[in-house]
Amino acid sequence: MAAGIDDIAIYIPRLYIDAADFADNRGLDPVKLQKGLGVSQMAIVDSNQDPACLAANACLRIMQKNKLSPDDIGRLYVSTESAFDESKAMNSYVIGMLEQVYGQGAFEHCGGVETKFACVSGSYALYDNANWIRADEADGKAALVVVSDIAKYDMGSSGEMTQGAGAVVMLLNDDPRLLAFDPKVTSTSIKDEYDFYRPFGKETPIVHGQYSNLLYMIQVRKALEAYKRKVVSSGLIKMEAGETILDHMDYINMHLPYSNMGKKALAYLVRHEWRQLPRWKNILKEIGMDEPIPKDPRGTIESVLGDEEFMAKDHEFTKLFTKTQAYQEVYESKLSSSLIASTMIGNLYTASLYLGFRSSLEFEYQKGIDLEGKRVGFGSYGSGSSAMVFSGVVQPAYKEMVKDMNLEAEIGDRKRLTWDEYEELHENKLSPEESMVHSKKEFVLVHVNTEKESRGERRYIFNE
């Protein structure tokens, strides 16, 4: 039985901090954000928003757009790393909000959990729900997988340049109009790591930035190796001599903590894949230097990062490699459209990969390219750490879904925050009633209880 993404909807908070204002106030060169990281604007949540109401707003959009009733939905999973409760799952809050619109008890038989594994948990949730459909357990119903996060880092930290917030929801069923997942090829890698983590009670993560960049690429490459073995052994793809698996992916969507990380990761994967092929000779000729090797080629990530001479040479080599015509073609045709939304919105943790997918659909369609039958590869990464690589094929009905996609319209009017407003929001100085946007037809947080017996209870309303 087929399973895949039938439709996709987003909810992005309408406040943002502009990269130029950010750089100005942090004494940075704005070009570092805009060109170095690929960050132009970062979405910031209002004082009456949390990840649960971002998720509920995205769900309401997809349900209303597709005229779905709660009876059509058999499962609702929320994947997040911005949880605010150690026990109560975020899907329960989302169902509570949706029932304010659809009636109490309307989702009584809609199963689901909150899933956690940093940014990769949404991909695990998609995989599990696709398998629920493939196993014929769905009884004709669809699943909603919502990925929702607030990427928030300490004031003044280097992570602060890579913030963002928002939710993406995907409707999964057995006759998907957008993308059917390739069966039996989803592959993972996993390792106990501390590149990025958020201990209990801490609102912001502890991050080892450069370590996390390298680990992301290594883990995705390992998952890609496993994916390669599976596509060949399952007969999904027949690889000819001189080809790489990436030649068989028309589009590649990467996890995007900032948009340039997608570029970095793609360059890393392509380099790794091409190194073994006849075409590599020509690439080296065009670059004009040999590929550098670390002093200790089988050493740890720390030893590689500590090898300053290698790091500098490798940086130079990567820059030259990304300028080669062969790489530019791969980048432009397979990745570039997926980065546009990330540049405008920032990191959405679990939702970043899927915002990228949505961005790729919209902007490739605008180029007039026919996407039907094209294979889309996904490189998902979550710190801590695990990667997942999987793929799917764009379905004939995609045009009907994609023709009306309009990122700017879906985000709505945005308010550019002043630095004082940004600091007040970041430091949680405003109460929900002091929100900056007076939103209509949206769920908002109105109260978090502080009394001993009901501490942490949250109340939401639907703003008519």
Residues at the site binding ligand HMG, with contacts judged by CB under 6 A = 29, 31-32, 35-37, 81, 118-119, 158-159, 161-162, 196, 207, 209-210, 212-213, 216, 255, 257, 261, 315, 347, 349, 381-383
Of residues 145 and 393, the one with the C-beta less far from ligand HMG: 145
CB closer to ligand HMG, 35 vs 279: 35
Q: Which of residues 327 and 381 has its CB atom nearest to ligand HMG in the complex?
A: 381
Q: Which residue is nearest to ligand HMG (CB)?
A: 36
Radius of gyration of the chain (CA): 22
Instruction: In angstroms, give the least distance from the CB of 208 to ligand HMG.
Output: 8
Considering beta carbons, is residue 183 or 209 the nearer one to ligand HMG? 209
Pick between residue 3 and residue 345 the one whose CB is nearest to ligand HMG: 345
Q: Which is nearer to ligand HMG, 34 or 131 (CB)?
A: 34
- The distance of closest approach from Cβ of residue 459 to ligand HMG in the complex, given in angstroms and rounded to an integer, is 28
β-strands 187-190, 386-394: how paired? Answer: antiparallel
Name the minimum Å distance from CB 231 to ligand HMG.
25
Whole-angstrom Cα distance, residue 66 to residue 260?
A: 34
Beta strand 73-79 with 15-18 is unpaired
Q: Which is nearer to ligand HMG, 380 or 395 (CB)?
A: 380
Residue number with CB closer to ligand HMG (261 or 361): 261
- Of 60 and 265, which has the nearer Cβ to ligand HMG? 265
CB of 132 or CB of 381, closer to ligand HMG: 381
Q: How far is the CB of 115 from ligand HMG (least distance, A)?
A: 13
Query: Minimum distance between the CB of residue 400 and ligand HMG, rounded to whole angstroms?
Result: 33
Compute the least distance from the CB of residue 66 to ligand HMG, in Å.
29
Contact status, residue 409 vs residue 9, Cβ threshold 8 Å: no
Rounded least distance, CB 285 to ligand HMG, Å: 23
Least distance between ligand HMG and beta carbon 118 (Å): 3
321 is written with which tokens? 């490699």
Query: Nearest distance from residue 446's CB to ligand HMG, in Å?
Result: 29
The residue among 9, 339, 342, 346 whose CA lies nearest residue 146 is 9
CB burial of residue 294 (10 Å; 0-12, 13-18, 19+): middle
* Secondary structure in 3-state letters for the chain: CCCEEEEEEEECCCEEEEHHHHHHHHCCCHHHHHHHHCCCEEEECCCCCCHHHHHHHHHHHHHHHCCCCHHHEEEEEEECCCCCCCCCCHHHHHHHHHHHHHCCCCCCCCECCEECECECHHHHHHHHHHHHHHCCCCCCCEEEEEEEEEECCCCCCHHHHHCEEEEEEEEEECCCCCEEECCCCCEEEECCCCCEECCCCCCCCEECHHHHHHHHHHHHHHHHHHHHHHHHHCCCCCCCCCCCHHHHCCEEEECCCCHHHHHHHHHHHHHHHHCCCCHHHHHHHHHCCCCCCCCCCCCCHHHHHHCHHHHHHHHHHHHHHHHCHHHHHHHHHHHHHHHHHHHHHCCCHHHHHHHHHHHHHHHHHHCCCCCCCCEEEEEEEECCCEEEEEEEEECCCHHHHHCCCCHHHHHCCCEECCHHHHHHHHCCCCCHHHCCCCCCCEEEEEEECCCHHHCCCEEEEEEC
Least gap, CB of 324 to ligand HMG (angstroms):
16
Residue 198 Cβ vs ligand HMG, minimum distance, rounded to whole Å: 9
What's the burial of 238, exposed, middle or buried (CB within 10 Å: 0-12/13-18/19+)? exposed
Residue with Cβ nearer ligand HMG (96 or 292): 292
Q: Which is nearer to ligand HMG, 258 or 390 (CB)?
A: 258
Least distance in Å: CB of 347 to ligand HMG? 6
